[in-house]
Homo-oligomer: A and B are copies of this chain.
Amino acid sequence: MKKQSIGVGLIGLGVVAGAVARVLLDKAKVLAEQVDCPIVLRKVKVLEQDLTRPQALEMDSQLFTTDEDEFFAEPEIDIIVEAIGNENPALEYLKRAISSGKHVVTSNKEVIAKHGAELLALAQQHKVGLRYEASVGGGIPLVAPFQYDLVANNISGIYAIINGTTNYILTRMAKDGMDFFLARNRAQQLGYAEANPENDIEGIDAAYKLAILASLAFHSQVRPEDVYCEGISRLDSRDFQYAREFGFAIKLLAIAKQSDNLIETRVHPVFIPEDSLLAKIDDVYNAILVEGDLVGKVLFIGEGAGALPSSSAIVADIVSAAQDIAFGAGSGVRWKLQPGKVIKPMSDIETRYYLRMNVADRSGVLAQISKVLGDHLISISSVLQKMVDSVSQTAEIVIMTHPAKEAAMQQALEEVTRLPVVNEISNFIRVEE
């Protein structure tokens, strides 16, 4: 029997959920055409304090409930949308929704990154869909392309700028010569960074998103703790200056590679060639480069966050779930795990390195450093000697290496630090070409 309407229940009424509610109301006609059936917002589970938000005041107050049992008991709801973020109570809500046979849409990267496999299994058991397009890259189509368009590809690599806050900060440091703290404050003033931006700055947000993308791309469960993670707070404006001198830009990249059933996933600042497209992705834009054996390189670019782009992805998921309900589709298996894949230890990766160190300003220093590097089979491709300080008799040495193993580099750095002529290793940054 054809349904009269498809009901949506919304959990949360923050800016994203508010935008979703508005789209469902304002675009009801065009959305109904896509499904041949009206999609109706039936209930919104809110907290007491949500009721005074601007987005609440413009909606019918009958829609709201602060009682979760009342919300989950609403019989007219077919699809539950969770947009409250954070792990708890979102995870419990999603499990409860799925277990009661509702299709589920979420924008929650933390829950999907940590519990995606478990939730997917639960959804398959209950024959409902679990959709999370908005969890990565805002409105940029990513989850669906992996599940559908790129399905015939063996994906070898993902190189992604997937955190707008850090990309904004790095853009200001690179273009305006700001130092990290000034750029971070600017990002906070503009609302691009939260009051406590640690999750963004330290790469944790990007690691969640990379875990989601890598799991999809490699048909394997990549957990957040499988992602090696370094943030951007130790970058100095001088690093940007030297990067330019070597022909590079600095970006916080989320990198996932797969070869011979070994999966490598890491988030850290990298030098990338300044004429690459990724180097030109500025401000809060996101970009995701995917390499597949058939498709070659494809690159997706767009705004990675914000209420409207996120609502674009969430409503697309709602429409897709509604189509499955209206057209009687089963719950498509679109993420089939392939066993036998292993996470590569960080110590086994191989890249070029940029090293910046403060040394004594005297002859023979470079020879001592190159000797240590050479002992670990690391060879130098170029060197800059900078900023001689005649008072303290120190100088800055900047080194670009040829490709080397991470384990060898870590050991070499430890030994270099112990050289009496080396005052400190100010920074080291990996290179991705």
Residue contact A327 to B327, C-beta cutoff 8 Å: no
Inter-chain contacts of A280 with B (CB < 8 A)? 277, 280
Within 8 A of B (CB), among A130-159: 133, 138-141, 144-145, 148-153
- Report A171 CB to chain B, min CB distance, Å: 14
| Interface membership of A320, Cβ < 8 A | yes
| Interface membership of A189, Cβ < 8 A | no
Residue among A293, A312, A330, A338 with the highest chain B CB neighbour number at 10 A: A312
| Interface membership of A265, Cβ < 8 A | no
Residue contact A309 to B295, C-beta cutoff 8 Å: yes
| Interface membership of A361, Cβ < 8 A | no
- Given known pairs A139-B295, A303-B295, A303-B296, the reply for A329 and B327 (CB within 8 Å) is yes
Inter-chain contacts of A145 with B (CB < 8 A)? 141, 144-145
Complex partner residue of A298 from B140, B150, B151, B319, CB under 8 angstroms: B140
Inter-chain contacts of A295 with B (CB < 8 A)? 138-140, 302-303, 308-309, 312-313
Interface string of A110-138 (1 = CB under 8 A from B): 00000000000000000000000100001
Complex partner residue of A148 from B33, B144, B331, CB under 8 angstroms: B144
Within 8 A of B (CB), among A11-30: 19, 23, 27, 30
Cα separation A377 to B301 with both chains bound (whole Å): 38
| Interface membership of A316, Cβ < 8 A | yes
Residue among A144, A299, A303, A320 with the highest chain B CB neighbour number at 10 A: A299
Cα separation A309 to B320 with both chains bound (whole Å): 26
Residue contact A316 to B148, C-beta cutoff 8 Å: yes
| Interface membership of A160, Cβ < 8 A | no
| Interface membership of A187, Cβ < 8 A | no
State how many residues of chain A have any CB contact under 8 Å with chain B: 59
Cα separation A300 to B27 with both chains bound (whole Å): 26
- Report A312 CB to chain B, min CB distance, Å: 4
Inter-chain contacts of A296 with B (CB < 8 A)? 139, 302-303, 306, 308-309
Interface residue ranges, A against B (CB under 8 Å): 19, 23, 27, 30-31, 33-36, 133, 138-141, 144-145, 148-153, 219, 277, 280, 292-303, 306, 308-309, 311-313, 315-316, 319-320, 323-324, 327-334, 336, 338
A-B contact pairs, 16 of them (CB 8 A): A138-B295, A139-B149, A139-B292, A139-B296, A140-B298, A150-B312, A151-B316, A294-B315, A295-B313, A296-B306, A296-B309, A298-B301, A323-B332, A324-B329, A328-B330, A329-B329
Besides A36-B333, A152-B312, 4 other CB < 8 A contacts? Answer: A33-B219, A139-B149, A298-B302, A298-B303
4 nearest interchain CB pairs?
A329-B329, A141-B149, A139-B295, A152-B315
